[in-house]
Chain A
């Protein structure tokens, strides 16, 4: 199987098949994240198109020495989905309510996941976090909020929430490694 770096080099040589392979490997994950953030399949599709076409036009922006292609694409998708969320006030208000319910209900893994083992390990790692860390990370990542918005919503100090997001991500990494999950070293 061709590596991520090999795929991106093929993209730089305008090989359509390489982009099709990227889509096959990661299109579903990118779509799933965008849909979860936006709650709108049509807008999620636009995000997938945007991310894939950006990779096609600017493959040099992906550096395989700094992380996986999956991580890069999901980061791009998250950033764009957040831009959409923040530009749509009414949707934002609706999503705030929905995301709050999601955060309060805990991590809800899609039952269609193809790798239930991985999903279960991620869920277990999340449960190892302090509740205030988990809530801050989930509201920021899946709710598309800034840390200031998270702080206002939770009635916490901004600096406290900022630190909790950082410490939560670090702790999550440790817990995932302890569970045997390979977290790519950048």
Chain B
């Protein structure tokens, strides 16, 4: 265990109680992305803290009514990403259903439209490679999610784009080339879980990937050639939030 990892581990209790500085919180946030053991420890600390807060205090009268008044109007159970015209100020924020089944159902209808849109766009890009054209189409799609991938000190090394039917593209612009015995690996954060989205090689440029669940963040780590199954290397990682 490195000294840096030891220091981050020692912070986990204070982090779980919101007792760290903003800089420390960001450092631990990044550490948790690639360390499931640390995430488990923080979750356990928070469960204990929740018991400390155990109290049967009743919420004040009328509070629920004020909350309920701020909710959106009831909507259909399942919303398609390409809904009919909706007033902007009434439109709910983007929300993903958690279940994979719902994700699949919601995106299936959109995929038909997306293919038609992508085909139309690509037809106007005859001078581009199919992959570059697909990236451009995804980037132009207002429903796509984009993340700028940054190092811990804020240097942007590329971006990830995920369109509404789960097609993703990593566009690396300034990732340092790695030696032959190392590789970059792409990870996606789904809730508190981190899944591998692909092994990128030592000098990635444009790399497609796919997701079948709502990914909130993407992370690139530096791993041994061939990649790892889990517990990515936090040192020198690049991360970005999809939004």
- Whether chains A and B associate is yes
- A118 — which chain B residues lie within 8 A by C-beta? 51, 54
Closest to A14 in B: B75
**Contact: B66 with A16, CB < 8 Å?**
no
How far is B94's CA from A12's CA once the two chains are assembled, in angstroms? Answer: 11
- Please tell me which stretch of B11-19, B80-88, B138-146, B167-175 contacts chain A, meaning at least 4 of its Cβ atoms lie within 8 angstroms of it: B11-19
**Contact: A32 with B75, CB < 8 Å?**
no
- Chain A: residues with Cβ within 8 Å of the partner, total of 82
- B18 — which chain A residues lie within 8 A by C-beta? 78-79, 82, 144
Q: Is the interface of A mostly helix, strand, loop or mixed?
A: helix
- Please tell me which stretch of A87-95, A97-105, A160-168 contacts chain B, meaning at least 4 of its Cβ atoms lie within 8 angstroms of it: A160-168
A71 within 8 A of B: yes
Smallest Cβ distance from B77 to chain A, in angstroms?
5
**Contact: A137 with B17, CB < 8 Å?**
yes
**A residues near B, CB below 8 A?**
8-9, 12-16, 19-20, 23, 27-33, 35-36, 41, 45, 48-49, 52-53, 56-63, 65-68, 70-72, 74-75, 78-79, 82, 109-110, 112-115, 118-119, 122, 126, 137, 140-142, 144-148, 150, 159, 162-163, 165-170, 172-173, 176, 181, 183-186
Can you offer 28 A-B residue contacts whose CB atoms are under 8 A?
A12-B95, A14-B72, A14-B77, A27-B59, A28-B59, A29-B56, A31-B58, A32-B57, A33-B53, A48-B59, A53-B70, A60-B95, A60-B98, A60-B214, A61-B191, A61-B216, A65-B193, A67-B46, A67-B47, A113-B55, A122-B52, A137-B52, A140-B17, A141-B17, A168-B13, A169-B13, A186-B39, A186-B44
**B residues near A, CB below 8 A?**
10-14, 16-21, 39-40, 43-60, 63-64, 66-68, 70-72, 74-75, 77-78, 92-93, 95-99, 102, 191-193, 214, 216
